[in-house]
Structure 1
Amino acid sequence: MKPGTRKFVLIPGIIATALAIAFGLSQLRPEPPEREERNPGLLVEVMPLEVSSERFQIRSQGTIRPRTQTILSAEISGSIVSISPTFIAGGVFAQDDVLMRIDPTNYTVAVDKSEALVKQRRIEYDGAAQLRSQGYRAESELASAAANLAAAQAELVGARRNLERTYIRLPYEGMVLSKEADIGQFVSVGTRLGVVFATDRAEVRLPLTDQDLGFVDLPLAAEISGAGAGSGPLVELTAIQRGQPVTWDATIVRSEGVVDERSRVTYAVAEILDPYQRHGNGVPLPIGTFVGASIEGSAVYDVIRVPRTAVRGADQLLVVDDENRIQIRTVTVLRSDTQFAYISSGVVAGERIAITAIEAPVNGMPVRTIDTAATAMPVVREGVAASGGSEASRAQ
């Protein structure tokens, strides 16, 4: 064999031998253990659940209106001869202040005539009685004289009453809402003179839904009489005045006792004392002010309070079990407000719920948790939970 030919034969053999040796050595080397891939899970904030007693605040709203409002009308005819300076829209007056005077001339004359007639009838009666005692008059004549005297006295009472009606006044202190007659104007019986209202108390009608009624103790109709109103829950009224929120205290004194056919709500009536602060130094609450109302509800026991944003949809919570896995739990939400939801069943004290929003959670999803004190009631972070977190937090 030629030297060149031998060279080409040996090279492939050497390569094949080296590959065989390498393959054999690789078979002798122990395989590394397989690593189990572990999903650490999302980092979520959790809070333990606690049973508590709550007193709900029922939210409503309404417009302040007078408790007592009067349409002033003339009871007699005549010209208006004087008007009080306070008888203008917004003017205030005291009890029995004279707001307006109708010309009393004719009514003064009527009183004088009636007084004279009474004197005449009394003389006639006394004469008839004396003659009757002497036997010169019949009993019927004495009775006729007595009837004439009584009629004259009744006429005098009516004349004096008409004279008193020339004074336009009211039995309460109040404020003028509108003025509808002026000095020099002739008015007849029934002519509207203006509208006034009392300032000792004001009211506000507060609509309550059927669900609201389950958490507020309204005074029963049997508790309300002509002597006064029943005593019900306390109410805090709020309105914006001059750009600042202001609050006033009120009390539910009655419900209107019927369900509105259109809105299907029941109206509770709250009363405010001295709304214009005529006998105090607080901030006046004018008639016509639109107010928000927070009504003190009845006490509810054995409920669990959770942040409102922890509730998914209408009635689901994300419970984190002892193995740090998500359980989607359907619960009974007794009531909720802008901050909290109150749970009556579906979870128990001691369980933990996720209060961090999780996108598309599923049962059994592993998570890592950060504990939050139940009493702190933290603000729930918006958005989707992401893996990782602050190393300063205690992660599990």
Structure 2
Amino acid sequence: MVLGSVEPAQEIVLSPRVSGQVLELAPNFVPGGMVQKGDLLLQIDPADFTSVLSERQSALQQAEASLEIERGRQSLARKELDLLVDTIEEANRSLVLREPQIKSIRAQVDAAKALVARAQLELDRTKIEAPFDAQILSRSVNVGSQVAPGDELARLVGIEKYWVIATVPVRSLHWVQFSEADGEGSSATLHNPNTWLPGAERHATVSRMIGALDQQTRLARVVMTVEDPLARNTEGPPLILDTLLQAHINGRPIEDVIRLDRDYVHERDTVWVMKDGKLEIRETDIVFRDADHAYIQDGLESGEEVVTTTLATVANGIGLRKVNESAPEDESLNTEAAD
């Protein structure tokens, strides 16, 4: 079991791209409100931008009209040039056909089109829309507020998924699968015994590891992804940002090991074993530890009798006797040193 904090996978500070007065706010543009991608959240007064767009469109129409007039002049010049085939030098033909004037007016038309597009873009930016499905965390403006580029309008978090960032001992990383590296991440079960109802849980997938240790705990940090964190279409409690949750990560299968209570593992990973009525101090190879158990790959065989009591004298070969004859199912037993 590890502890992890609930963090947003998507979070933005919403800011305007143009200046103006706020005319309208959407009814659900409030703290806690739910919005969908493309929903109109806020309308800035478009009057000035509409006026600029009209001016730019008029300038474009004038430039296009000038281009049509110049093309008419070019057509007449071409007819005159056909009558003077051998009297005009080739270098002067472009001047007679008014090609420099045509190029100049075409450039004016292109510039006018760019100004119209810019004016239309700024008009469109008076409408502030939700960039993704989100929940509003905070709002900093109201109807009548004067806003400018860079001002904070609101904070939004995406609601498609949240992250749970947990700290894990570095030695345990070998047993964890990451979806971004391995294709399929380890599954995890999340609990909050302090606030959730008994038996309530959420499920997550281990996505990746953050490439730096936690500076305070010196533990590795892993990111778990929770889909539909607000449980709109999922059974289970909704997640609240910044909550501390318990996470049980299902790691890679550990094969050919014996699970033993950690209380029965002593200094230098030794285990006390009773064999033929005598104490054997076994050195073991522990490949993994969790909160309650050690997983031993070498040094202990299934069915051997593990000493579970504290001994006054600990030395290889001392005599032992069982306190009771019926050993527990985990092959451990209570013993005492024989006189």
Query: In 2, are the aligned partners of 1:114 and 1:155 still within 8 Å (CA)?
Result: yes
Change (3 A) 1:63 1:86: same
Q: Which runs of 5+ in 1 are unaligned?
A: 1-58, 224-229, 388-396
* Counterpart check, 1:283 vs 2:283: no
Query: In 1, are the aligned partners of 2:209 and 2:220 still within 8 Å (CA)?
Result: yes
Partner of 1:325: 278
Deviations, residues 218-276 of structure 1 (Å, cap 9, x unaligned): 3566x7xxxxxx54211112113645353111111222233455543332211111101
For 2:331 and 2:128, how far apart are their aligned partners in 1?
A: 63
- Cα distance, 1:347 vs. partner? 2.5
Partner of 1:208: 168
Query: In 1, are the aligned partners of 2:305 and 2:333 still within 8 Å (CA)?
Result: no
For 2:307 and 2:331, how far apart are their aligned partners in 1?
A: 12
* Counterpart check, 1:304 vs 2:258: yes
- Cα distance, 1:203 vs. partner? 0.8
- Cα distance, 1:146 vs. partner? 0.7
For 2:75 and 2:167, how far apart are their aligned partners in 1?
A: 75
Which amino acid is the alignment partner of residue 282 of structure 2? R
Which amino acid is the alignment partner of residue 242 of structure 2? G
Partner of 2:218: 264
For 1:134 and 1:268, how far apart are their aligned partners in 2?
A: 76
For 2:58 and 2:184, how far apart are their aligned partners in 1?
A: 55
The structure having more radius of gyration, on CA atoms, is: 1
User: Superposed, which structure 2 residues align to 1:37-48 within 5 Å?
Assistant: none
* Counterpart check, 1:194 vs 2:194: no
Change (3 A) 1:364 1:335: same
Q: Secondary structure at the match of 1:292?
A: strand
* Counterpart check, 1:139 vs 2:96: no
Partner of 2:208: 254
Deviations, residues 189-220 of structure 1 (Å, cap 9, x unaligned): 21111111110111122223321112223356
From 372, 376, 380, the counterpart of 2:327? 372
For 1:241 and 1:85, how far apart are their aligned partners in 2?
A: 34
Which amino acid is the alignment partner of residue 308 of structure 1? R
- Cα distance, 1:180 vs. partner? 1.2
For 2:333 and 2:290, how far apart are their aligned partners in 1?
A: 15
User: Superposed, which structure 2 residues align to 1:309-388 within 5 Å?
Assistant: 309-313=263-267, 315-322=269-276, 324-362=277-315, 363-368=317-322, 370-372=325-327, 376-377=329-330
Q: Secondary structure at the match of 1:301?
A: coil
Q: Secondary structure at the match of 1:79?
A: strand
Q: Percent identity?
A: 26
- Cα distance, 1:84 vs. partner? 1.5
Which ranges of 4 or more aligned residues in structure 1 deviate by more than 6 Å?
Answer: 378-381
* Counterpart check, 1:180 vs 2:180: no
Partner of 1:71: 13
For 1:71 and 1:379, how far apart are their aligned partners in 2?
A: 59
Query: In 2, are the aligned partners of 1:175 and 1:196 still within 8 Å (CA)?
Result: yes
Taking structure 2 as the reference length, what is the TM-score of the superposition? Answer: 0.84
Partner of 1:19: none
Change (3 A) 1:263 1:171: same
Q: Which runs of 5+ in 2 are unaligned?
A: 78-95
Partner of 1:150: 110
Partner of 2:90: none
Query: In 2, are the aligned partners of 1:307 and 1:380 still within 8 Å (CA)?
Result: no
User: Superposed, which structure 2 residues align to 1:151-170 within 5 Å?
Assistant: 151-170=111-130
Query: In 1, are the aligned partners of 2:209 and 2:221 still within 8 Å (CA)?
Result: yes
User: Superposed, which structure 2 residues align to 1:84-163 within 5 Å?
Assistant: 84-135=26-77, 138-163=98-123
From 186, 194, 201, the counterpart of 1:233? 186
Deviations, residues 161-202 of structure 1 (Å, cap 9, x unaligned): 111111111231111111111111111121111111110111
For 1:282 and 1:243, how far apart are their aligned partners in 2?
A: 9
For 2:268 and 2:32, how far apart are their aligned partners in 1?
A: 50
For 2:142 and 2:333, how far apart are their aligned partners in 1?
A: 64
- Cα distance, 1:95 vs. partner? 1.6
Query: In 2, are the aligned partners of 1:309 and 1:380 still within 8 Å (CA)?
Result: no
For 1:378 and 1:286, how far apart are their aligned partners in 2?
A: 44
Which amino acid is the alignment partner of residue 27 of structure 2? P
Query: In 2, are the aligned partners of 1:318 and 1:329 still within 8 Å (CA)?
Result: yes
Query: In 2, are the aligned partners of 1:100 and 1:167 still within 8 Å (CA)?
Result: yes
* Counterpart check, 1:82 vs 2:24: yes
Which amino acid is the alignment partner of residue 326 of structure 1? L
Partner of 2:92: none
RMSD: 2.6
Taking structure 1 as the reference length, what is the TM-score of the superposition? Answer: 0.73
- Cα distance, 1:76 vs. partner? 0.4
- Cα distance, 1:281 vs. partner? 4.4
